[in-house]
Structure 1
Amino acid sequence: MTRHHRTTPRLARILGSLLLVAAAGVLTSGAAPAPRPAAAGALDQVVPAPASVRPGGSPYRITERTGIRVDGSREVRRVGEYLAEVLRPSTGYRLPVTTHGGGIRLRIAEGPYGAEGYRLDSGPRGVTITAGAPAGLFHGVQTLRQLLPAAVERDSAQPGPWLVAGGTVEDSPRYAWRGAMLDVSRHFFGVDRVKRYIDQLALYKFNKLHLHLSDDQGWRIAVDSWPRLTTYGGSTQVGGGPGGFYTKADYREIVRHAASRHLEVVPEIDMPGHTNAALASYAELNCDGVAPPLYTGTAVGFSSLCVDKEVTYDFVDDVIRELAALTPGRYLHIGGDEAHSTPHEDYVRFMDRVQPVVAEYGKTVIGWHQLTGAHPAKGALAQYWGLDGTSPQEKEQVAAAARNGTGLILSPADRIYLDMKYDASTPLGLSWAGYVDVRRSYDWDPGAYLPGVPASAVRGVEAPLWSETLETSAHIEYMAFPRVAGVAELGWSPAAAHDWDAYRVRLAAQGPRWEALGIGYHRAPQVPWPAG
């Protein structure tokens, strides 16, 4: 089973129809109106579900007298300013960020919060969010947003009232890795589109943005020592469009914006396969010294760097060195999947040489789970994208690596690949992994998913969004929402909180919030969305 779909006449017809779909307006999918779910704003209606909720007491009302109180820390003030930027347009209030007064207070204190946990206390005198670190405060702010009416997300003044239910939320994540991947290689998405997706992910407490920066169809990050990678290799995309790439300044802006939302950017350069854009740019990277043409289709597995040439490793060293220097995060993803045209012995030799290069430049290796068929470096992470039907031998290979210390990120394709169609009528996406409806994407336990894998080896979950059929922000949002919220809950909430029947009601309450944010989502018939 391959990760991507082969080119078919049907896919071509779908791509042609997307312009008509977009012209008709925001994508929607029909579901019969259902009774309105429990009112948004209740402490127990948050997504992802908090670890502990104790409702009680009178609510707090945000008014024109409310301020946001912070300590003297620059990082805490940034969280306070972010909250004010969210609340000011819809409430019409000044909401000054100060070190005195209050109404809403953000504070850092010692306690059982960890790196990302928080406590939210609400009552008639105010709301206090307490955390051990700024990331925890930021996550607490996302909970506060969901405790307010959905209209708080609009960019113009709304009537209110702005009530925060009384009680206490104590919360921390189940997993340290809660990621989303965006493929900018098959279709290129500019800086503003990526920043918009970052903002949407932040609402649901994601903390990793994995950018798939290179593939057969396009190379998307500037490398000074190999300039044709972008000027030529980045000049097209699936279907033959103009493509594009990020300058180093562009990439730094994405990293900066992600950091302001407490997401870490994880860049991926896929190798030794998925490399046609590089091979087309530089003939010497090919074993026969002949550059292939640029590629705009969607087939996989046909390209490979030349494992026997020393210039290949000069190339890899330069790319990793420059990308590592741009990336403040700990991780660098080297792909490694679907290297069908690379003999296994060559694949192992290649990975044995490349993984130390990543370490040399101060980063930790991540690879797709095929890396476990080589020799994963100490501390490396493997990203599992197999299916329920993946062979027992392949699953055992992954499990054996996990038992030997390789950490796992779970991205099962038939569960949380966001580019899979919801059902046969979905106008976007692919279906090689089957249809992935909202319940299927939510109703599984990462901690018990792979046989023979110690629960301690699971670092978390990540929802990939491949872009063979996606060209706009509207396309991204329609395929991500509502499923991405369920992935957030799998990564954040305790296993005991995972219950489809309860979740679908909480999820339904997110619909008006997405509408206020201008997110065109799939109205899955499994979810009792509010009427209207």
Structure 2
Amino acid sequence: MRVPRRTLAALLVLAAAPAAVSCTAAHGDDARPGDEPPAALAPYERLLPAPVSARAQGPGYAFGPGTVIRTGLTQDEEVRRVGELLAEQLRGPSGLPLPVVGGADGDGIRLRLDEGAEGAGEEGYRLESGPGGVTLTARTPAGLFHAGQTLRQLLPVSGPGTVPGGTVTDAPRFAYRGAMVDVARHFFTVEQVKRYVDQLAQYKVNTLHLHLTDDQGWRIAIDSWPKLARTGGAGQVGGGPGGYWTKEQYRELVAYAGERYVDVVPEIDMPGHVNAAQSAYAELNCDGKAREPYTGIKVGFSSLCVGEERTYEFIDQVLGELAELTPGKYLHIGGDEANSTPAADYAAFMDRAQAVVAKHGKTVVAWHQLATARPAKGAVLQYWGHDRTPAAEKAAVAAAAKAGNPVILSPADRLYLDMKYEKATKPGLAWTGYVPVKRAYSWDPGSYLNGVPESAVLGVEAPLWTETIAARGDWELMAYPRVLGLAELGWSPAGALGWDGYRRRLAAQGPRLDAQDIAYYRAPDVPWS
């Protein structure tokens, strides 16, 4: 999962005709680079992630000063909140007042809950645009939120305009579509992470995994062990002041993400990657001596004292406090690169750690090394392997999947956002090799790992490790545009995937990224505007 780490060293193409056209035919691999600049794409063809189906038909809706957002007759407070957030998002670039009102009649943008909406599932939706307005229909408020994000892409980047006439019917391929940020190697503020949440949510990413602890820093306040944050948080890679989040700041971030239908999955890495905790509390070390703070990037040297009962009191209290702060169903307990923990001790430790997570009412997520021990029933394995990962390790993950353990796919040589695009990329690492935009996108999660069928894949996640990333500009440069490929791989149907179509949809997002002041890598094989 990290550094010298391992080595240490659509269905879519819409014409004016009423019928929807297959994305594969229009955007598939038969297309040739340079044959269709993004400006030539019709609005529905530019949508990213590619929807299940879309149809351009008839005149559109004039989005202008008289537009209102109607939240229906249900008096549902959550629908009202979705409407208010959509209005806020649309006011920024348009400058329009966009009042939010109740009721379903009249023109404007209409939000409609329909529990019987066919094919929508928990996050799907239907968008219909015509001269009288735009109707967003979903079974759940989450679906309405996603519909609103699609609407944003159908409008001009700035100013009023016309929502083209047509229909989008859409739902995700995978339930889990995640991005991870490592705030342990370098500390980032809650406000910086909120910005990422907004960026991710507009492309239908629905999970934020927070790597909160590691050898270099402990970033969340724990009342029962106060020196974890005060002492263990006082540093980072290369030195510097570090920092940590108070419980109130963490709650604020979780609530902010939740309003955008992004679940937070916190990670406390164990039994390795624990030097920051061991520098704060000598009792977490078998020899009873506090460790020196660590500011390097090596891995695999630290381990909790797995034979001491005090260790399990520690993880029970830490995970218990974190569980109370986190409304989502998952707690991540790391479990990778425990090179200083003997295999038998590792398995025994992970048995007890998983039981602690269950005690506090959560479901375990762990890096895929848990497959070499005894994964609990229903525990989720996050696979970070790559092309050179040993076959036996992959087979262990496949066996766990066969036994009923869901898998999140984060292949390091595809989705690790800290990998350099090319030799000239200034931040980042290259222990898996370079990961250009095309490589990050050009694989199918449903058939990626031998022995792990699509039915066992919970979803995909793009981690951003921060050994070399200490500023927002570098963070965004490494994430964008590769995280948009993650969004499409997680949401769009398999038949909509294809590099030549995707690179044009991606290019069409360039003006939006520019307008939002998002730093991004202008991949040379993408026809940016």
- Shift in Å at residue 475 of structure 1? 1.5
Contact 1:180–1:206 (8 Å) recurs in 2: yes
1:334-357: CA deviation from partner (whole Å, max 9, x where unpaired): 000000000000000100111011
Instruction: Answer yes or no: is 1:107 the counterpart of 2:112.
Output: yes
| Partner of residue 436, structure 2 | 437
Shift of 1:41: 6.3
Equivalent residue of 1:239, what SS?
coil
Aligned 1:87-102 pairs, distance under 5 A: 87-100=90-103, 101-102=106-107
**Aligned letter for 1:144?**
L
Q: Which of these residues, 137, 145, 157, is aligned with residue 150 of structure 1?
A: 157
1:385-405 deviation digits (Å, cap 9, x = unpaired): 000121111110110010001
> In structure 1, what is the equivalent of residue 272 of structure 2?
273
CA distance in 2, matches of 1:74, 1:322: 29
In 2, the alpha carbon distance for the partners of 1:200 and 1:295 equals 32
Distance in 2 (CA, whole Å) between partners of 1:55 and 1:67 is 23
Q: Are the structure 2 counterparts of residues 434 and 165 from structure 1 closer, same or farther at C-alpha, using a change threshold of 3 Å?
A: same
Q: CA deviation at 1:38?
A: 3.6
Is 1:362 the counterpart of 2:367? The answer is no
Where 2:371 maps in the other structure, the secondary structure is helix
Give the equivalent residue in structure 1 for 2:78.
Answer: 75
2: CA distance, partners of 1:196 / 1:466:
17
Which portions of structure 1, spanning 4 or more consecutive aligned residues, are displaced by more than 3 angstroms?
32-36, 38-41
Task: Provide the rounded CA distance (Å) in 1 between the counterparts of 2:254 and 2:235.
Answer: 24
Where does structure 1 lack aligned partners over 5 or more consecutive residues? 11-31, 152-157
* Aligned partners of 1:216 and 1:276 also within 8 Å: yes
Which residue pairs with 1:141 in the alignment? 148
- Aligned partners of 1:40 and 1:147 also within 8 Å: no
Relative distance call for 1:401 and 1:479 in structure 2 (3 A) is same
Question: Are 1:34 and 1:529, in contact at CA under 8 Å, matched by a contact in 2?
Answer: no
Find the aligned partners of 1:41 and 1:321 in 2 and give their Cα distance.
Answer: 51
Partner of 1:58: 59
Match of 1:178 in 2: 177
Amino acid paired to 2:60: P
Question: TM-score, length-normalised on structure 2?
Answer: 0.92
**Partners of 2:40 and 2:514 in 1: how far apart?**
16
Amino acid at match of 1:322: E
Displacement after TM superposition at 1:5 (Å):
2.2
- Deviates further, 466-475 or 295-304: 466-475
* 1:335 aligned partner, one-letter code: G
Q: Distance in 2 between matches of 1:183 and 1:216?
A: 12
Q: Which amino acid aligns with 2:90?
A: L
Partner of 2:224: 225
Q: What does residue range 103-502 of structure 1 map to in structure 2 within 5 Å?
A: 103-109=108-114, 110-112=116-118, 113-151=120-158, 158=159, 160=160, 162-502=161-501
Matching of residue 86 in structure 1 with residue 86 in structure 2: no
* Contact 1:40–1:149 (Cα < 8 Å) also in 2: no
Task: For 1:54, give the aligned amino acid.
Answer: R
Mapped to 2, the partners of 1:285 and 1:89 lie a distance apart of 50
The alignment's C-alpha RMSD in Å is 1.8
Structure 1 residues 239 and 34, CA, compared in 2 at 3 Å: closer, same or farther? farther
Q: Percent identity?
A: 62
Letter of the aligned partner of 1:343 in structure 2?
P
Q: Distance in 1 between matches of 2:445 and 2:34?
A: 32
Question: By how many angstroms is 1:474 displaced?
Answer: 1.4
Q: Give unpaired runs (5+ residues) of structure 2.
A: 10-32
Residues 233-258 of structure 1: CA distance to partner in whole angstroms, max 9, x if unpaired?
00000010110101000000000000
Q: Secondary structure at the match of 1:270?
A: strand
Q: Cα deviation per residue 1:396-431 (whole Å; 9 max; x = unaligned)?
A: 011001000110000000001001000001011110
2:15 is matched with none
Counterpart of 2:21?
Answer: none
- Which deviates more, 271-280 or 54-63? 54-63
Alpha-carbon deviation of 1:91? Answer: 2.1
- AA aligned opposite 2:92: P
